[in-house]
Amino acid sequence: MSKPVAEMNRSTVHALSPSQSCRDRGRQSFIFHAKRQLGQFARSTLQDEFERSRVRVGADVEGSETSLRLDRHPAFAVWSALNIGSQQQMWRALSDMVTRQTGQLNAAAEAFWGGAAKGSLQLAPDLEMPDYFIETAYHGQPGGYCLDRGDGDWHAGALQEAGGTLYSRGAGTGKKDSKGQAVVRFISNTFPGLMPERVIDLGCGYGGQTGNYAVAFPEAEIHGIDLGAGLLRYAHPRAEALGLPIHFRQACASATGFPDASFDLVVSNILLHEIPRHMLEGVMRESFRLLKPGGLVVHQDVPTQRADTPPFQQWLSSWQVAHNDEPFWQTFAETSVAEALVLAGFPEEAVFEAYQPQVDGPLVWYMVGARKP
Amino acid sequence: MKEGAQPADKPIYFEDPAIQALYQMVLVLGEELAATREQLHALIALCEEGKAPSAEAIEAFVPDETFDLERADWVERLLEPLERIKQSPSRS
Determine the residue among A25, A53, A135 to mutate to test chain B binding: the one whose Cβ has the most chain B Cβ atoms within 10 Å: A25
3-state SS record for chain A: CCCCCCCCCCCCCCCCCCCCCHHHHHHHHHHHHHHHHHHHHHHHHHHHHHHHHHHHHCCCCCHHHHHHHHHCCHHHHHHHHHHHHHHHHHHHHHHHHHHHCHHHHHHHHHCCCCCCCCCEEECCCCCCCCHHHHHCCHHHCCEHHHCECCCCCCHHHHHHHHHHHHHHHHCCCCCCCCHHHHHHHHHHHHCCCCCCCEEEEECCCCCCCHHHHHHHCCCCEEEEEECCHHHHHHHHHHHHHCCCCEEEEECECCECCCCCCCEEEEEEECCHHHCCHHHHHHHHHHHHHHEEEEEEEEEEECCCCCCCCCHHHHHHHHHHHHHCCCCCHHHHHCCCHHHHHHHHCCCHHHEEEEEEECCCCCCEEEEEEEECC
Q: Which residues of A touch B2 (CB under 8 A)?
A: 134, 143, 146-149
Least confident segment among A11-15, A148-152, A172-176, A233-237: A172-176
Q: Which residues of B touch A27 (CB under 8 A)?
A: 31, 34-35
Nearest to A147 by CA among A230, A249, A271, A234: A230
d(CA A326, CA B7): 10
SS3 B2: strand
SS3 B5: strand
> Given this model, what pLDDT does residue B90 score?
44
Q: Tell me, what's the ipTM? A: 0.92
Task: Check CB contact under 8 Å for A140 and B7.
Answer: yes
> Given this model, what pLDDT does residue B82 score?
87
| Contact assessment for residue B31 and residue A94, using Cβ atoms and an 8 Å cutoff | no
| Contact assessment for residue A137 and residue B10, using Cβ atoms and an 8 Å cutoff | no
d(CA A168, CA B59): 26
d(CA A116, CA A310): 51
Percent of chain B whose pLDDT exceeds 90: 64
Instruction: Look up the CATH architecture of domain A120-371.
Output: 3-Layer(aba) Sandwich (3.40)
Nearest to A190 by CA among A337, A297, A345, A333: A297
Rounded to 5 degrees, what are φ and ψ at B34? -60, -40
User: With the CA atoms of A214, A216, A221 and A224 taken in that order, what torsion angle do they form, in degrees rounded to the nearest 10?
Assistant: -50
Task: Check CB contact under 8 Å for B13 and A27.
Answer: no
> Given this model, what pLDDT does residue A10 score?
64
Determine the residue among B26, B38, B91 to mutate to test chain A binding: the one whose Cβ has the most chain A Cβ atoms within 10 Å: B38
Tally C-beta pairs within 8 A across A and B: 150
Domain range summary for chain B, segments of one domain joined by +: 17-80
- A176-212: pLDDT as tens digits: 778 999 999 999 999 999 999 999 999 999 999 999 9
Rounded to 5 degrees, what are φ and ψ at A62? -70, 145
- B44 in contact with chain A, both atoms CB, cutoff 8 A: no
Report, as an integer, the average pLDDT of B4-23. 89
- A9-43: pLDDT as tens digits: 667 889 899 999 999 999 999 999 999 999 999 88
A73: left (phi over 0), alpha (psi -120 to 50) or beta: beta
> Given this model, what pLDDT does residue A4 score?
54
d(CA B81, CA B45): 31
Task: Check CB contact under 8 Å for B2 and A134.
Answer: yes
Nearest to B53 by CA among B67, B43, B63: B43
Determine the residue among B1, B9, B10, B40 to mutate to test chain A binding: the one whose Cβ has the most chain A Cβ atoms within 10 Å: B10
> Given this model, what pLDDT does residue A61 score?
47
Out of A27, A48, A72, whose CB is closest to B35?
A: A27
Q: Which residues of A touch B30 (CB under 8 A)?
A: 30, 34
Rounded to 5 degrees, what are φ and ψ at A250? -80, 115
Query: How far does the CA of residue B24 sit from the closest CA of chain A (Å)?
Result: 6
CA of B88: which chain A residue's CA is closest? A74
Banded pLDDT at B9 (limits 50, 70, 90)? confident
Determine the residue among B79, B80, B91 to mutate to test chain A binding: the one whose Cβ has the most chain A Cβ atoms within 10 Å: B79
Task: Check CB contact under 8 Å for A137 and B6.
Answer: yes
Cβ burial A220-237 (10 Å sphere, 16+ → b, else e): bbbbbbbbbbbbbbbbbb
Cβ neighbours of residue A242 closer than 8 Å, sequence gap 6 or more = A2, A4, A5, A8, A12, A14, A211
Percent of chain A whose pLDDT exceeds 90: 65
Out of A69, A80, A137, whose CB is closest to B13?
A: A80
Domain range summary for chain A, segments of one domain joined by +: 22-100, 120-371
**One-letter amino acid identity for B5?**
A
SS3 B23: helix
* Beta-ladder partners of A290: none
Query: How far does the CA of residue B26 sit from the closest CA of chain A (Å)?
Result: 9
Mean model confidence pLDDT for chain B = 88
- B46 in contact with chain A, both atoms CB, cutoff 8 A: no
Rounded to 5 degrees, what are φ and ψ at A232? -75, -30
More confident residue, A150 or A142: A142
Stated length of chain A: 373
pTM of this prediction?
Answer: 0.91
CA A186 to chain centroid, in Å, comes to 17
Task: Check CB contact under 8 Å for A41 and B83.
Answer: yes
- A305-357: pLDDT as tens digits: 666 677 887 778 778 777 888 889 888 988 999 999 999 999 999 999 999 88
Report in angstroms the alpha-carbon separations of A85 from A31, A143, A262, B31: 10, 18, 46, 11
SS3 B32: helix
- B45 in contact with chain A, both atoms CB, cutoff 8 A: no
